[in-house]
Amino acid sequence: MTYYIAPRFLDKLGVHITKNFLDLPGVRVPLILGIHGRKGEGKTFQCELVFERMGIEVTLISGGELESPDAGDPARLIRLRYRETAELIKVRGKMCVLMINDLDAGAGRFDEGTQYTVNTQLVNATLMNIADNPTDVQLPGSYDSTPLHRVPIIVTGNDFSTLYAPLIRDGRMDKFYWEPDRDDKIGIVGGIFAPDGLSGREITQLVDTFPHQSIDFFSALRSRIYDEQIRNFIHQIGFERVSLRVVNSVEGPPEFKKPDFSLSHLIEAGNIMVGEQKRVENPQLVDEYNRLNRGRTSQAVIPTPATPINQPSTNGFQPTQNASPHLSLETQEQIRQILAQGYKINIEHVDERRFRTGSWQSCLDTHIDAHSDAISALESCLAEYSGEYLRLVGIDPKAKRRVIETIIQRPNGKS
């Protein structure tokens, strides 16, 4: 199967890697190339295709390896993998690179509630040191004066604004924002469905039907088409025999005929997937549960002399004198709930372009723990960022983590 490589991606990666293997007099070449963009757009897969085309060997590090219960282990791992890759270049006599996937997930700091550990500091410091001295990378406790071969480093992530600013400065890291345009999507999706006989016109129509979906959506869509055959296979042999038939079976692995990859069938399955996405984004199940729970509690309360029968129910909250006419009752109630549990409140905003990459920014300089302040701050943010997304964030000050995130405004001003 021949997959599509976006020309912009191939050009950027090819130039960066080649430049790091050349001796350009008087030119300071950034060692690190940071490829960032919204989730699911195939950053890592495009890198793999470029490496394969250029005949480059890759040493991989996952963002999950950048944390450890033992301080210093992730930084040592980076140095060790870098030295191993430099040795590969020397032994194999070919281009090799070190690649770190999801760097922001392992070394980023998303807000004040994200714990900044010793390992996070050491990872940032190690990468900066390697970028500044790419031929002199030592392991802790040992020193080798022999210069190493320079090894280009490729890192991927969704939001590099969460990384330590000195690490991503120009001179250390060259940045490349990957957002495939319509032609790129058509080419990539055409590669995904290449074995299935879809015409160029059908591929174009499929992409235009789901213009805001990432590349991973179309890959998952192709996988979804096989579900019907697999379901029939399971019902045919029985759920009790699936394990015996699929794993280490003497009959060999089951075979399936080519499913229906017609455009209408793909669009139908795609619409189902889009519906599932919307249910995840706007479930409102917690709010519904809380409303039902509060209703049952208020019905179970037996009036006492201290609570006159004709007094309106407050559902466990004291009457609020500073209720806002500009905020929905549901939003005001949610603020009360968050503060009543001892949590603090933050408010974040993001425009439509950055919403796709999850690059939220705080509207406030500090977290709020008073109801009147929260109402006032939220009204100000609604007025100031009327054309953007706004979300309410509840933060546990003791655990220093987020306990709730809920969008309360969208770009059309709808709350």
pLDDT band at 367 (very low <50, low <70, confident <90, very high): confident
Local structure of 63: helix, strand or coil? helix
pTM value > 0.85:
no
- pLDDT value of position 191: 92
- Using alpha carbons, list the distances in angstroms from residue 382 to 125, 344, 360, 389, 410: 39, 19, 15, 9, 10
Q: For residue 179, give every residue at least 6 positions away whose Cβ sits within 8 Å of its Cβ, in sequence order, or none.
A: 37, 38, 41
Q: For residue 229, give every residue at least 6 positions away whose Cβ sits within 8 Å of its Cβ, in sequence order, or none.
A: 256, 257, 259
| 364-379: average pLDDT | 83
pLDDT band at 330 (very low <50, low <70, confident <90, very high): confident
Q: Which residue has the higher pLDDT, 329 or 83?
A: 83
Q: Please give the full DSSP string across 186-222, using - where no structure is assigned.
A: HHHHHHHTGGGT--HHHHHHHHHHSTT--HHHHHHHH
- pLDDT value of position 317: 38
- pLDDT value of position 49: 95
- pLDDT value of position 335: 87
- pLDDT value of position 383: 84
- Structure confidence by residue, pLDDT tens digits, 97-154: 999 999 988 887 766 555 567 888 899 999 999 999 999 999 887 888 889 999 999 9
- pLDDT value of position 113: 55
Q: Residue 126 and residue 81: Cα distance in Å, rounded?
A: 12
- Structure confidence by residue, pLDDT tens digits, 145-200: 889 999 999 999 998 888 889 999 999 999 999 999 999 999 999 999 998 889 99
Local structure of 393: helix, strand or coil? strand
- pLDDT value of position 47: 95
Local structure of 350: helix, strand or coil? strand
pLDDT band at 302 (very low <50, low <70, confident <90, very high): very low
pLDDT band at 295 (very low <50, low <70, confident <90, very high): low
**3-state DSSP helix/strand/coil % of the chain, to nearest 5:** 45, 15, 40
- pLDDT value of position 95: 96
Q: Which residue has the higher pLDDT, 286 or 108?
A: 108
| 301-306: average pLDDT | 41
- Using alpha carbons, list the distances in angstroms from residue 196 to 131, 188, 368: 45, 14, 55
Distance from CA of residue 365 to its chain's centroid? Answer: 25
Q: Do residues 403 and 396 touch, judged by C-beta distance below 8 A?
A: yes
| 72-88: average pLDDT | 94
Q: Which residues partner with 407 through β-bridges?
A: 391
- Structure confidence by residue, pLDDT tens digits, 25-67: 889 999 999 999 999 999 999 999 999 999 999 999 998 898 8
Q: For residue 395, give every residue at least 6 positions away whose Cβ sits within 8 Å of its Cβ, in sequence order, or none.
A: 112, 113, 343, 344, 345, 346, 367, 401, 402, 403
- pLDDT value of position 287: 63
What percentage of the chain has pLDDT greater than the value 70?
86
